[in-house]
Amino acid sequence: MIVLQNLIDAVSLGAVYALAALGIGLIFSVMRLINFAHGELIMVGGFTLYTLAGQPLLVMILAALLTSTVLALGMERVAFRTLRKASPATLLISSFAVSYLIQHIVLLAFGSRAMGVAFLPELGTAIDLGGLRIPLLQLVTIAVTLVLMAGLVAFFRLSETGLQMRAAAEDFTMARLVGVKANRVIAFAFAISGVLASIVSFYLVAQTGSVSYKMGVSMVLIAFVSSVIGGMGSIAGAALGGFLVGIVSVSLQAYLPVDLRPYRDAFVFLLFVLFLFWRPDGLLASRADRDRV
Amino acid sequence: MLKIRDLHVSYGNIAALRGISLDVGKSEIVAVIGPNGAGKSTLLLAIAGVVRARAGSVEFDGRAITGQQPEALVTTGLSLVPEGRHIFGSLSVAENLRLGATVRRDRQEVARDIDRVLAMFPILRERYRQRANKLSGGEQQMLAIGRAMLARPRLLLLDEPSLGLAPLIVAQIYEAVRALRDQGVTALIVEQNVGRALSAADRTYVLSSGVIAMSGKSAEFAGNAAFDAAYFGVAEAAR
């Protein structure tokens, strides 16, 4: 029974990590940018919920989705489009700059203390399922993630734009040579990453009941680790990596000696380092990193 | 149709093309031959907008296209089949062909054109649902050409279409190029296979160390002492 309980914990945490990792992995696959400012897309979604607290639920959700998406498109347009031909290192540094800039704007506007938000408190209750006490939030998280992933798979498989994004992820120059518009697929990737980020913010705010200007930082680190484990450049790999990191985290939480549990994440990162010795390219290494045209 | 004047391209401090002038007329097949590192691929990449020219001009159908983006150039009727083919290996043959028609909106005509490509290269019909990285080199080259055809180009740029392929496959690919010309498609082909290039092309340019060493009707090249000197001479010197 306890095993099953842990499994559900693991899958729901893995689902959140997978959504965050997909946001990072998607952008990397089309433009070789590791977007550390992805955490701020999550954070801004959370602060939109905070600002609109008390409004109808649908208004809060739609506003947060919109804010994160617009911010994602904005950072692409202002910070990353001009640097598209720059090296991945330059792109990475500029994503740190964007990250710190947004964090400190929010710090100036809202202060440094975490602030409470009542967002979907009903999800805090647990329901009985054949002897198991399962928090509703976990079930909703798993369900939402499954729906989103099915939607993404359908988008990539069936739509013209999805096909173009897969082509661009594999060989960006060749995709442009058949007429795929570089600006359009990259903007699309950022828009999707914005939507994914705000959904992660819903989970974080519902779970912790608070927002702070640093709330995206640890999530983006986990997302980055997950997408590396999956294989940078592979969209499916990012999702897989997220689930794996979630499962490992919950297992450590459950089976580490009690006095070591507060250091769970240190063990997660230690295992990550060991993993890199074994598979430096990740599980589903992408062919896209070979030389381009 | 294509008019290039005094084209210069550099990679950093290294000059790859040093003042190329070249013309391709409508429905012509023109070959560019030359040793490794002569700048042949760079020439095609510069025409297709992948690499930027430092100086000089490229005109396509009387319009200056220098400095335009690759995705914009496809819509003007210019398609590049790059060296190494660059098919999308993780996608199916069908998806690769669909991507070839990215710039088109006439879905029914696209379906008919896909049929034409499959009729031209029947092996692709057998492999239609397979991942493209499962294809042999020759099949990949056919797919790359078919994918380029689906944009309905008026000018096809082919970079080393015979590289690493068996003679029988090479013959089939050049057969396709000739068939396309009969349908009014112009082709500019870069080749290392001199015999192939000379027999397929109406006119040929010899490129060496970033400049045109010689040009003329292909038929006049064979056994021509000046050609031997221009081609093999520079090949010796490049060593």
The SS3 call for residue B173 is helix
| Chain A residues whose C-beta sits inside 8 Å of any chain B C-beta | 160, 163-164, 166-167, 170-171, 173-182, 287, 293
State the complex-level ipTM.
0.92
Instruction: Say yes or no for a CB contact (<8 Å) between A179 and B71.
Output: yes
Strands B155-159 and B186-191: parallel
Model confidence over A17-66: pLDDT tens digits? Answer: 999 999 999 999 999 999 999 999 999 999 999 999 999 999 999 999 99
State the Cα–Cα distance between residues B70 and A166, nearest whole angstrom.
18
DSSP 8-state assignment for residue B219:
G
State the Cα–Cα distance between residues A62 and A41, nearest whole angstrom.
14
Instruction: Say yes or no for a CB contact (<8 Å) between A174 and B79.
Output: no
Residue A292 clears pLDDT 80, i.e. is over it: no
Residue A244 clears pLDDT 90, i.e. is over it: yes
Mean pLDDT (whole number) for A254-279 = 91
Instruction: Say yes or no for a CB contact (<8 Å) between A163 and B89.
Output: no
Instruction: Say yes or no for a CB contact (<8 Å) between B70 and A173.
Output: yes
Q: How high is the mean pLDDT of chain A?
A: 92
> What CATH number did the domain enclosing A180 receive?
1.10.3470
Structural domain harbouring A211: 2-289
Q: Which residue has the higher pLDDT, A197 or A131?
A: A197
Count of domains forming chain A: 1
Instruction: Say yes or no for a CB contact (<8 Å) between B75 and A179.
Output: yes
Residue A225 clears pLDDT 80, i.e. is over it: yes
pLDDT in tens, chain B (239 residues): 999 999 999 998 899 999 999 999 999 999 999 888 889 999 999 999 999 999 999 999 999 999 899 999 999 999 999 999 999 999 999 999 999 999 999 999 999 999 999 999 999 999 999 999 999 999 999 999 999 999 999 999 999 999 989 999 999 999 999 999 999 999 999 998 888 888 899 999 999 889 998 898 888 887 677 777 777 655 554 44
Which secondary-structure segment (H or E) carries B17?
strand B14-24
> Which residues in chain A have Cβ-Cβ distances shorter than 8 Å to B69?
176, 182
Structural domain harbouring B20: 2-238
> What CATH number did the domain enclosing B152 receive?
3.40.50.300
Count of domains forming chain B: 1
Q: Confidence band (pLDDT; 50, 70, 90) for A122?
A: confident
Model confidence over A142-170: pLDDT tens digits? Answer: 999 999 999 999 999 999 999 999 999 99
CB pairs under 8 A between A and B: 71
Instruction: Give the other-Cβ count within 10 Å of B236's Cβ.
Output: 10
Look at phi and psi of residue A107 and say left if phi exceeds 0, alpha if psi is from -120 to 50, else beta.
Answer: alpha
User: Between the CA of residue A82 and those of A67, A173, B30, what are the distances in Å?
Assistant: 22, 17, 37
